[in-house]
Structure 1
Amino acid sequence: METAFESVRDESRLAPGLYIVAGPIGNLGDLTPRAAEILRKADVVAVEDTRVSAKLLRAAGSDRPMVPYHDHSNDSLRQRLVDRMVGEAVALLSDAGTPLISDPGYKLVRDARAAGRFVTSLPGPSAAIVALTLSGLPTDRFLFMGFLSSKAKARGDALAEVAALRATLVLYESGPRLSASLAAMAEGLGDRDAAVVREISKTFEETVTGTLRELSARYADAPPRGEIVVIVGPPGEAPAASQEDADAALIEAMARLPVSKAAGEVAKALGLDRRELYARAMVLKG
């Protein structure tokens, strides 16, 4: 026979499945009430480091059991967690911020969805987004790149891939590697405006702005401590197309299209005046 206590407990239980919980970046006050509730009610909490997460669970008033789950976890552990989601609520918690950002936790979400499990995510802090808002650089279009490789060639190749992208870049970095990484960015991207943001939401939060070379010099002899996010502004305006560029584009377009449509295509591609291009196209054609 069901007791009154068991009835209340059942009503407070979470539906089985996976709950992706964003934790604080630094200040424990950033943990949302909803996140704290999930951590108190989950049947098990999958964490990167039990020592780090134990402090957060205590702050949330949670006594739920923890199981280690991180980038070195094997497939069998992931499968056991997915199996538990049949009848239990599994909370996924990273050491700081939103899980799955710059870590391979997506595999747990992928496998949970493939198995038909319920999956939800609780919005919360993310160092990448907070640093972007602090940088004073364009936020309308950005690319998160995580950590660059410590190997020079791989790092150079990664930067070459995005050098022409007209977007702000967001990267994570460590103190000892910061100066060399900033210098590599200046070499591969050009000496762009940038910001180094660290210790977000903590007592010694700091945002330092300057060009990539200026920032590299600043930290060359004094590597900073703490969690670091580097924000790199987009490239400057591309130089206007030359007459030779316009002519070459018109000739190629006219080989496929009528003059009017060719002028319109080139105008859109090069950002030039359509009427002027049409007049030039008629000269070239004549």
Structure 2
Amino acid sequence: MDIRKMESLVAIADHGSFTKAAKAVNLTQSAVSQQVHELENLLGVPLFSRDSRPPKLTRHGQAYVETARAMLALHRTFLETHCRSEVKGTLVVGTVRSALTGVLPRALRTLKQSFPNLSLRLINSGRLSNDLTQDVRNGQLDAALIVGPPAADDELVWRAYAMERFFVIAPADAPGTTDADLLSAGPYLRFIPNLPIERRIDREIEKRNLAIVPEMELDTFESILLMVSAGLGTGVVPELYIREAARDRIRAVPFGDASFYRELGVVTLRRGKKMALVEALLSALVQPAAR
């Protein structure tokens, strides 16, 4: 049984909605819905009644939530009893810039509390995901937190820990209500893409026949956020860049549909010598946020 699916189910029960649960477990709402659907197929019973909004737990759903709570508690007890003392040593981890925000600070705190014998050396080189993946392959890094997934490679293991939507951001006084309205209001601040998921932004705009001419081309999402906050135009950024933004200066509307998202994850060598340490890091990254 997938621990993450059970964590998502418990989060829905605790938070009362798929939307709030998705934020708690650092996934998109569509990903959480898919996890519930897979659980229902596996168990052969409906866990939620779709006749109400938001969907409510069925009798089977309520019973399985309690089962999931017990299984998760046993899993945590096992880790604390058998794994804490085993997880020791130094883990060298490279990160892309965007991984330094979001869930990482909480994960590092959890690691320090749960595994006192684990030392983490975090390297923020400002390099791209492809470069960090190559460093993992060459043995220069034990693992890397990147935007992925990376290209298929039998030597590597990829584990996603968060999925996030993209948003159109615009000055607070920009006209319009939809993502197309805000983009068309311009001026458009284009992100110069370095990754396939980011090139999808250009393709999505082209597919929707939006007549947009870039006013500026910027090489970081932070730069786009700063320019928009100063009232200089509109742009598209991942969700984590707007969580701490001055919301009185910008407006944010989801870009595209729920299938337009990016994954943040951990990549490591399949036969790496520090897999136990990597698993400890991943466990902390996917742990639901405290209520």
Q: Could you say which structure has the greater relative contact order, defined with CA pairs below 8 angstroms and 6 or more residues apart?
A: 2
Higher strand share: 2
Q: TM-score, normalised by structure 2?
A: 0.29
Q: TM-score, normalised by structure 1?
A: 0.29
Rg larger for: 1
